[in-house]
Chains A and B, each alone.
Chain A
Amino acid sequence: MNNALADSWFMTVRHLRNLFRQPAWIAISLIQPVVWLLLYGALFRRIVEIPGFGASSYIDFLTPGIVVMTCLFSAGWSGMGLIDDLDRGVVDRFLVSPASRGSLIAGRLIQGAMVGVIQAVIIIVLGLAIGATYPGGIAGLTALTVCAVLLGTAIGALSNGVALLSRREETMIAVSNFVLLPMTFLSSVFMAQALMPQWMQDVAQYNPVNWAVQAGRAALAANGDWGIVFSRMGYLVVFTVVCTWLATRAFRVYQRSI
Chain B
Amino acid sequence: MDNAIEARGLVKTYRGDVRALDGVSLVAETGTVFGLLGPNGAGKSTTVKILTTLSRPNAGEARVAGYDVVREAAKVRLAIGCVAQKSGLDPAATGRENLMLQGRVYGMRGRELKGRAQELLERFGLDAAADRTVRTYSGGMQRKLDVAVGLMHRPQVLFLDEPTTGLDPEARVDMWSEIARLSGEEGLTILLTTHYLDEADRLARRLAIVDQGRVVAEGAPDELKAELRGDAIVVELEEQPHDGEVTRVLAHIADLHDVAVEARTLRARAESGAHMVPTVLAALESAGVAVASVGVSRPSLDDVYLRYAGKAFCEDDAEVKR
A interface with B by C-beta (< 8 Å): 3, 6-7, 10, 14, 17-18, 21-22, 85, 87-90, 92-99, 256-258
User: Contacting A10 at CB < 8 Å: which of B49, B55, B86, B101?
Assistant: B101
Q: Name which residue of chain B comes closest to A86, CB basis.
A: B86
- Given A14-B90, A90-B89, A90-B90, A96–B54 Cβ distance below 8 Å? yes
Chain A residues with CB below 8 A from B106, complex form: 97-98
User: Contacting A99 at CB < 8 Å: which of B84, B87, B105?
Assistant: B105
Chain B residues with CB below 8 A from A17, complex form: 92-93, 97
Give the complex CA separation of A99 and B87 in angstroms.
Answer: 18
Judging by beta carbons under 8 Å apart, are B92 and A93 in contact? Answer: no
Judging by beta carbons under 8 Å apart, are A95 and B105 in contact? Answer: no
Judging by beta carbons under 8 Å apart, are B89 and A97 in contact? Answer: no
Interface string of B63-102 (1 = CB under 8 A from A): 0000000000010011010101111111111000100011
Judging by beta carbons under 8 Å apart, are A98 and B133 in contact? Answer: no
Judging by beta carbons under 8 Å apart, are A10 and B104 in contact? Answer: yes
Judging by beta carbons under 8 Å apart, are A92 and B53 in contact? Answer: no
Give the complex CA separation of A179 and B186 in angstroms.
Answer: 54
Interface centre among B14, B80, B82, B90 (most CB of A within 10 A): B90
Give the complex CA separation of A18 and B88 in angstroms.
Answer: 15
Chain A residues with CB below 8 A from B88, complex form: 88-90, 92-93
Chain B residues with CB below 8 A from A10, complex form: 101, 104-105
Judging by beta carbons under 8 Å apart, are A96 and B53 in contact? Answer: yes
| Residues of B96-152 contacting chain A, CB below 8 A | 97, 101-102, 104-107, 133, 149
Judging by beta carbons under 8 Å apart, are A258 and B93 in contact? Answer: no
Whether B252 sits at the interface, judged by CB under 8 Å, is no
Judging by beta carbons under 8 Å apart, are A94 and B105 in contact? Answer: yes
Give the complex CA separation of A65 and B130 in angstroms.
Answer: 45
- Given A21-B133, A98-B105, A258-B55, A93–B78 Cβ distance below 8 Å? no
Whether B321 sits at the interface, judged by CB under 8 Å, is no
Q: How many residues of chain B have a CB within 8 Å of chain A? A: 32
Chain B residues with CB below 8 A from A97, complex form: 77, 102, 105-106
The minimal Cβ–Cβ distance linking B220 to chain A, given in whole angstroms, is: 29
Judging by beta carbons under 8 Å apart, are A96 and B77 in contact? Answer: yes
The minimal Cβ–Cβ distance linking B222 to chain A, given in whole angstroms, is: 33
The minimal Cβ–Cβ distance linking A185 to chain B, given in whole angstroms, is: 34
Chain A residues with CB below 8 A from B149, complex form: 93
Interface centre among B56, B101, B149 (most CB of A within 10 A): B101
Q: Name which residue of chain B comes closest to A89, CB basis.
A: B86
11 A–B contact pairs at CB < 8 A? A3-B107, A14-B90, A14-B93, A18-B92, A22-B92, A92-B86, A93-B84, A94-B105, A96-B54, A98-B74, A98-B105
- Given A10-B105, A96-B80, A98-B77, A88–B89 Cβ distance below 8 Å? yes
Chain B residues with CB below 8 A from A98, complex form: 74, 77-78, 105-107
Q: Name which residue of chain A comes closest to B104, CB basis.
A: A10
Judging by beta carbons under 8 Å apart, are B87 and A88 in contact? Answer: yes
Chain A residues with CB below 8 A from B78, complex form: 98
The minimal Cβ–Cβ distance linking B191 to chain A, given in whole angstroms, is: 13
Whether B30 sits at the interface, judged by CB under 8 Å, is no
Chain A residues with CB below 8 A from B189, complex form: none
Whether B300 sits at the interface, judged by CB under 8 Å, is no
Whether B52 sits at the interface, judged by CB under 8 Å, is yes
Other than the given A93-B102, A97-B105, 16 more pairs (CB < 8 A) read A3-B107, A10-B101, A18-B90, A21-B133, A85-B90, A88-B89, A89-B84, A90-B88, A92-B54, A93-B84, A96-B52, A97-B77, A97-B102, A97-B106, A98-B107, A257-B14
Give the complex CA separation of A14 and B56 in angstroms.
Answer: 29
Give the complex CA separation of A248 and B49 in angstroms.
Answer: 21
Chain A residues with CB below 8 A from B104, complex form: 6-7, 10
The minimal Cβ–Cβ distance linking A35 to chain B, given in whole angstroms, is: 26
Whether B15 sits at the interface, judged by CB under 8 Å, is yes
Nearest 4 interchain pairs by C-beta: A89-B86, A93-B88, A89-B88, A99-B105
The minimal Cβ–Cβ distance linking B175 to chain A, given in whole angstroms, is: 18
The minimal Cβ–Cβ distance linking B172 to chain A, given in whole angstroms, is: 21
Judging by beta carbons under 8 Å apart, are A88 and B93 in contact? Answer: no
Chain B residues with CB below 8 A from A89, complex form: 84-88
Give the complex CA separation of A250 and B91 in angstroms.
Answer: 25
The minimal Cβ–Cβ distance linking A15 to chain B, given in whole angstroms, is: 10
Give the complex CA separation of A14 and B52 in angstroms.
Answer: 24
Give the complex CA separation of A102 and B15 in angstroms.
Answer: 25
- Given A89-B88, A92-B86, A258–B54 Cβ distance below 8 Å? yes
The minimal Cβ–Cβ distance linking A7 to chain B, given in whole angstroms, is: 6
| Residues of B251-266 contacting chain A, CB below 8 A | none
Chain B residues with CB below 8 A from A22, complex form: 92
- Given A95-B54, A98-B77, A98-B78, A14–B101 Cβ distance below 8 Å? yes
Interface centre among A10, A87, A93, A94 (most CB of B within 10 A): A93
Chain A residues with CB below 8 A from B52, complex form: 96
Chain B residues with CB below 8 A from A93, complex form: 82, 84, 88, 102, 149
Chain A residues with CB below 8 A from B87, complex form: 88-89
Judging by beta carbons under 8 Å apart, are A7 and B105 in contact? Answer: yes
Interface string of B144-173 (1 = CB under 8 A from A): 000001000000000000000000000000
Chain A residues with CB below 8 A from B102, complex form: 93, 97
Interface centre among A22, A98, A99 (most CB of B within 10 A): A98
